[in-house]
Amino acid sequence: MSNQAAIYSSFDADPDFAELVQWFVKALPLRMRAMDRAFHGGDLSELGRLAHQMKGAAGSYGFPQITLAADELEHAVRLGDSRAAIEQRFRRLSTLCQQARVSEPERDIANRSSAELAANFLSD
C-alpha cells in the first residue's frame, strides 16, 4: 500500500491518545475478520451489529471516513439491500480499514505480535 492511499487518525498529534489509536488500528483486521465471518456465514444481524459498533468507534478514534463507510454498510443491512450491494459496502469498509494508519512513523506497538494484540482485544 502506498502512503498516498493511507488515511490517518485526526488524533495523531495528541500524545495522550497516540497509543490508544495504535491499539485500535492494530485491531481493525480482527474486527474485519469478524464481519467477514458474519457476511459469509449469512448472519446479517451480526454483520449489522458489528458495522454499528465500527461506526461508533472509528470516528471516536479520529477516522470519520471509516465511520461513514460503516454507516452505509449498516444501513444496507437494515434496509435489506441485495447481497451484492451489501458486499460492495463491506469491501469499501474493508479497504478503508486496510488504509488506516496512526501516523508516520508508527511507533513500537506496530511491532508487537498480532497474537498479543488479539489476546488483549478478546480479553477485555
Collect all residues with Cβ–Cβ distance below 8 Å to 67 and sequence separation of at least 6.
Answer: 54, 55, 56, 58, 59
Q: Which helix (H) or strand (E) holds 7?
A: strand 7-8
Cell of 82: 441485495
Question: Residue 109, interface with other proteins (CB under 8 A)?
Answer: no
Question: Which one, 2 or 107, has the nearer CB to other proteins?
Answer: 107
Contact track, other proteins, 60-99, x by CB under 8 A: xx--x--x--------------------------------
Helix (H/G/I), strand (E/B), else coil: 101? strand
Q: Which of residues 19-38 bind other proteins (CB under 8 A)?
A: 20, 23-24, 27
Q: Rounded to an integer, what distance in angstroms lies between the CA atom of residue 96 and that of residue 62?
A: 13
Residue type (1 letter), 59: G
Do 15 and 108 touch, CB atoms closer than 8 A?
no
Among 6, 36, 52, 81, binds other proteins (CB under 8 A): 52
CB of 69 to other proteins, least distance (A): 13
Which part of the chain contacts other proteins (CB under 8 A), choosing from 12-20, 33-41, 85-93, 98-106? 12-20
Q: Rounded to an integer, what distance in angstroms lies between the CA atom of residue 94 and that of residue 16?
A: 27
Question: Residue 55, interface with other proteins (CB under 8 A)?
Answer: yes
Q: Which residues bind other proteins (CB under 8 A)?
A: 16-17, 20, 23-24, 27, 49, 52-53, 55-61, 64, 67, 121, 124
